[in-house]
Amino acid sequence: MSSLKKLVLWLAPLMFFSLLPVLVSAQDNMGKQGMSVTGCLKQGSDHGGYYIMANGKMYEVTGQGVNLAEHVGHTVTVMGHAVKLPEAQEAKKEATEKSEAGSNSYEDFQVTSLKMVSASCSQ
């Protein structure tokens, strides 16, 4: 076997394993790159809780630096990403989330920006 083939046989796995953490990290961040949700922003049952119903799903929205309270009752588009809360925190919120969602599925959503579409909700 030529020395070039031996070198390639050694370098190929080495390159693969050295790039693996980068590839895994990129995959983990794909869900956090962002998505938008448009709907009527409503006050939740919990103090400081807000949600949007859109596409048959309830999004329990939170956001630092975004004033959600001033947009309750408005149609808004929020940009952000779905988040998984710690188990203890999720357990505290689960009953109200189920109550607000009704028969719809629900997920927690971290808002990074908000754009008001309309000063009212058409529902």
Helix ranges, 1-123 (H): 3-30, 87-101
- To the question of pTM greater than 0.85 for the whole model, the response is no
Note whether 80 and 109 are within 8 A (CB): yes
Chain segment 46-103, per-residue pLDDT in tens: 777 899 988 889 899 988 888 999 999 999 999 999 888 777 766 666 767 667 767 7
The alpha carbon of 9 is separated from its chain's Cα centroid by a whole number of angstroms, namely 41
| Pick from 6-20, 81-95, 109-123: least confident | 6-20
Indicate the pLDDT class of residue 15, thresholds 50, 70 and 90.
low
Chain segment 37-47, per-residue pLDDT in tens: 999 999 987 77
Residues 6 or more apart whose CB falls under 8 angstroms from that of 52 comprise 37, 38, 39, 40, 41, 42, 58, 59, 61, 76, 78, 109
CA 63/CA 73 separation, integer angstroms: 17
Dig out the tokens for 47 from the structure: 């103090």
